[in-house]
Structure 1
C-alpha cells in the first residue's frame, strides 16, 4: 500500500510475508528476512544500513564451531532461552532474555556459538547491520538490558553516542515491545528516517494492514503510526536512516 494523497491518513507502508529464504543445517536452522525486498523494484535486498534480520533456531546440544565475521555488526536478541558464545578474545558469554550481545566484527572477529544438551530449544533473532566504513576495530559488547514492560518500547541498540545500552556503527536504532491482545502502541520514528517492523510472536494491525507471525512491514512515514495487537505479540522495530553511508562487504550481511 502506498497512498501519496495529501489527505492520507493511512501510513505509507510495504508488507512482506514470512520469508522463503532459509537454510537447514539440521540442529541449526535460519530464515533470512531482507527488508529491502518488501519494496517493489528496490534494487537492494537490505534497506540502508539494515542488511538482514535472521530468525535462528538451535536445538539443545548444538555447536557452531569457531568462525570469522568481517565488516558487519551482528546483534543477538534472545527473548527466551540461552545462546552461549566464546571467542578468541577469551570471552565466554551467555545471551538470554536479560542480555543483548553486539559483535562489531570490523576487520575480523572469530567466535563460536553453542547450546548445551540441557538447554531449552532456542529461537532468536540475529541482526546484521552494515557499518559505515570497512575494517573498523573489532569489538564485543554484552550488556544487561532493562526488564520488559508490557506496551512499552525498550530501546536496545543505536548508533554510537545514542542513549541505547549498546551501539552499532551506523544509523540504526532497535527496540522491542510486548503487546497484549487489543493493546495499541506507537511505532518508534525519527524525522526523515523509516521504520522496519518484524512480528516475532503474535499478530498486529498497522492502519488497515494485518501483519502476522514472522511477517514484516516497512513504514516510509516518519510520523506517529499506531500498531495494535490482535493477539498477544512480541514485536521489534528498526528506525533506519535510508540515506546513511554503507558498506557491503560483510561475511553474511552484505
Structure 2
C-alpha cells in the first residue's frame, strides 16, 4: 500500500516577500519514526516575490539543491560566483565545512524547491555546481539531475540519492525511476496525477518503502520531481538545516 503525504497549508510560513512550505519527507513513512527520509532531510517549497533578498549567510554540512521551477533567482557566494538560476539552470551547493551565499529576485518572482540533504561525512570541501539545460524540463521523459559521487550526472551529491524530473503532458503515462535497494519519493511540483489508485495534486508526495511505485498518469500538464534514496545510508547530523530534524538510524 502506497503512502501519501498531502500538502499542508499549516506548514507554510512567511518572511516578508517570500513564502515557504516546509516538508519533512520522512513523515510519509511514520513507522520509521524519523522526520527525514533517510538522508533526505528537509524540502522547502518556496515562492519568492520580485525584490526578495536573502542576505549572505553560512551553511555547514548541508547538500542543497536549488530546483527552480518558475521565474529566476540570482545566486552569489563566497567563491565569487554571481549566477542567475532558472528552470534552465539549476544549482547544487555542497556546503561542506563552510559555504556562504546570498539569493535575490531582482527581475521577476520565483517558485522553487530548496532541498536539504545530509552528507555522508562531515566537513567535506565546500563547493558549488551548476546544471545547464537550454530546453528546460523534458516532456514525457525523465532527466537525471543529480546522483551520488562517482555516478555520471550533471550534479554530484555527497550521499546515496538520485534526483530526476519530468514534465508530463495531460493524459500521458510514465514509469517512475527506480534503483535496487533505493526507496522512491515522488513529488508533484505542479499539476495532477493518478498513481496506484491515488490522485495527487500540487504539493503532494507518494512513496512506499518496500514496493515499487506504479506508473503515473497526468490528468493535466504536470511537473514531477522524483527522489531515489538509500534509506539506511550513513549520514551526519552537523548540517545547518539538514542536521536539525529527525534522527539518523
| Alignment TM-score, normalising by the size of structure 2 | 0.93
Asked whether the equivalents of residues 191 and 223 of structure 1 are also in contact (C-alpha less than 8 Å), the reply is no
For the residue of structure 2 that corresponds to 1:80, the secondary structure is strand
Match of 1:151 in 2: 140
Match of 1:21 in 2: 11
Give RMSD over aligned pairs: 1.4
For residues 179-203 of structure 1, the C-alpha deviation after alignment (integer angstroms, 9 at most, x for no partner) is 1111100001001111101101111
Matches within 5 A, 1:24-103: 24-103=14-93
Match of 2:112 in 1: 124
For the residue of structure 2 that corresponds to 1:41, the secondary structure is helix
Asked whether the equivalents of residues 207 and 213 of structure 2 are also in contact (C-alpha less than 8 Å), the reply is no
Number of corresponding residues:
241
Q: What is the CA distance between 1:42 and its match in structure 2?
A: 2.8
Match of 1:105 in 2: 95
2:129 to 127, 134, 141: 141
Gapped regions of structure 1 (runs ≥ 5): 3-12
Match of 2:247 in 1: none
Q: What is the CA distance between 1:41 and its match in structure 2?
A: 3.3
How far apart, CA to CA, are the structure 1 residues paired with 2:212 and 2:134? 26
For the residue of structure 1 that corresponds to 2:221, the secondary structure is strand
How far apart, CA to CA, are the structure 1 residues paired with 2:29 and 2:208? 10
How far apart, CA to CA, are the structure 1 residues paired with 2:237 and 2:6? 25
How far apart, CA to CA, are the structure 2 residues paired with 1:114 and 1:223? 39
Asked whether the equivalents of residues 22 and 42 of structure 2 are also in contact (C-alpha less than 8 Å), the reply is yes
Q: What is the CA distance between 1:40 and its match in structure 2?
A: 2.4
How far apart, CA to CA, are the structure 1 residues paired with 2:164 and 2:231? 18
Matches within 5 A, 1:193-232: 193-221=182-210, 223=212, 225-232=214-221
| Alignment TM-score, normalising by the size of structure 1 | 0.91
